[in-house]
Amino acid sequence: MAEKRDYYEVLNVSQSAGEDEIKKAYRKLAIKYHPDKNPDNKAAEEKFREATEAYEVLRDSEKRSRYDRFGHAGLEGMMGGSGFDFGNFEDIVGDIFGDFGDLFGFGGSSRRQAGPKRGRSLQYDLQISLEDVMLGKTMTIDVPRSETCQTCHGTGAEVGSKPETCPECFGRGQVTRTQGFFSMSRTCSRCQGEGRVIPRPCNECRGQGQVRQVRQIKVRVPKGVDTGAKIQMRGEGEAGVNGGPPGDLFVVIHVAPHELFVRENNDLITRASISFPQAALGTTIEIPTIDDTVKVTVPSGTQFGTRLRIPYKGVPYYNRYGSGDLIVELQVETPRNLTERETELLEAFVQLRNEGGAEEHSGFFDKLGDKLFHRHDDLDDDKSQ
């Protein structure tokens, strides 16, 4: 494999050359060695590749800095497998030739086709409540969008007239200049590359073919959706151009926080407070749901943080049968400001538990007794002072 030449030598510029000097040098070589000018000339093709590779490096400040410090070895991993990334070739040609981006046939077809184009898709962020998630709901939203002008039916021309072929580019969308043995093309400045002009624009859309409207659209929010879900509404985006189809509307769901319930997948979590006698003896309490209340049995000996599960009272599964559960997390309230009689009774209860030989001393009432005795001792100390 032949050793690569120095990039500054390839372009015949000094190492201190500025951007404009490097660009000018490359332009000269590109015109001289371009394959379209030198068909079937392998030597010219190689010269063109070599010059383009050198220019790609020296025009990029980061690559140039690495090259100046480490030479060709410093560019490993930054270039294509052959030493030059041809994926950037059209960018390089455009950078050099500006409006003449179609020089030598690069940059696509020499004729710009103003054919049908699909309309732009839109996104709408919709906030809903947990009730909407549980029960489902149909809502009406206001969506600003571009629609086909009903006066000119999208042509952009006044009623009774129509667009005409551009007299500057004769419908090609580009104008071409010939210099010796090659041609250079640029976008037609009169029609902006559309290939047609509108002598008498529509008064409603001012020749654009589209008008801005706020359209009311009904959205069905299915049961069980969650934040981040997208509802796709085909054809409800912006209108297409030149007869193209409209885009779509994507409704993104955001579920507002609820004051009573927290969602965990398809379960709902809520909290309920009970007194410690209720926790010890057991009781029945009423728990609110989204649309009703249910009675829940609290077993005797319930501890703080116990969770009770109510089947099928959670969030419906999205697009399938069934629901999650409602989970009730119990919080046992400790009474405040005990009277002297209440304190005596609780102390007596704790004493009975100890005399009964109960082995478990880490339960709720043992902890409660410790707290009450400690509080009672503090009160006695305060009184003695």
Beta strand 164-165 pairing with 196-197: antiparallel
Residue 336: its pLDDT value, please? 86
**Mean of per-residue pLDDT scores for the chain:** 82
Strand pairing category for 122-128 and 249-255: parallel
Per-residue confidence (pLDDT) for residue 85, from 0 to 100: 46
Contact 98, 187 (CB under 8 A): no
CA–CA–CA angle 47, 53, 54 (5° rounding): 90
Contact present, 11 and 22 (Cβ < 8 Å): yes
Using DSSP's 3-state secondary structure scheme, residue 293 falls into strand
pLDDT in the model for residue 193: 83
Two domains, one topology: 111-157+205-257 and 262-333: yes
pLDDT (tens digit per residue) in 64-79: 888 888 888 877 755 5
The pTM for the full model equals 0.58
Q: Judge whether residue 315 has pLDDT over 50.
A: yes
The predicted structure's pLDDT at residue 81:
42
pLDDT at position 334: 87
**More confident call, 251 vs 380:** 251
Is the pLDDT at 285 greater than 90? The verdict is: yes
Report whether pLDDT(211) > 90: yes
CATH tag for 7-105 (out of 1.20.140.10, 1.10.10.60, 3.30.420.10, 1.10.287.110)? 1.10.287.110
Lowest mean pLDDT among 52-66, 111-125, 278-292: 111-125
| Predicted pLDDT at 221 | 95
CA dihedral 43, 49, 53, 59 (to 10 degrees): 110
DSSP secondary structure string for all residues of 193-243: TSSEE-SSB-TTTTTSSEEEEEEEEEEEE-TT--TT-EEEETT-SPPPBTT
Which of these, 223, 222, 232, 224, lies nearest to 252 by C-alpha position?
232
Q: What pLDDT does 180 receive?
A: 46
The crossing angle, in degrees rounded to 10, of helices 364-384 and 340-355 is 130
Percentage of residues in the chain having pLDDT higher than 90? 46
Would you say residue 83 has pLDDT above 50? no
Identify the band that residue 241 occupies on the pLDDT scale cut at 50, 70 and 90: confident
- Find the angle CA(284)-CA(285)-CA(290) to the nearest 5 degrees: 140
Task: Map residue 87 onto helix, strand or coil.
Answer: helix
Domain ranges across the chain: 7-105, 111-157+205-257, 164-197, 262-333, 340-384
DSSP-assigned beta bridge partners for residue 230: 252
Provide the 3-class DSSP secondary structure of residue 347. helix
Cα separation of 233 and 25, whole Å?
54
Pairwise pLDDT comparison (174 vs 132), residue with the higher score = 132
Distance of alpha carbon 235 from alpha carbon 241, whole angstroms:
14
Rounded Cα gap, residues 372 and 355, in angstroms:
18
pLDDT at 222: 94
Q: Would you state the pLDDT for residue 232?
A: 95
Domain boundaries 262-333, corresponding CATH code: 2.60.260.20
Ranking 119-133, 215-229, 328-342, 357-371 by mean pLDDT, the lowest is 357-371
19-28, 31-40, 176-185: the lowest-pLDDT one: 176-185
- pLDDT at res. 373: 45
Residue 282: predicted pLDDT: 93
Instruction: Give CATH for domain 111-157+205-257.
Output: 2.60.260.20
Q: What is the pLDDT of residue 109?
A: 40
For β-strands 210-221 and 262-264, DSSP reports them as: unpaired
**CA nearest to 314, candidates 270, 273, 268:** 268
Q: What is the pLDDT of residues 342-354, one digit of tens each?
A: 899 888 988 888 8
Residue 194 has pLDDT above 90, yes or no: no
Question: Is 126 in contact with 252 (CB distance < 8 Å)?
Answer: yes
| pLDDT at position 262 | 95
pLDDT at 135 (0 to 100): 92
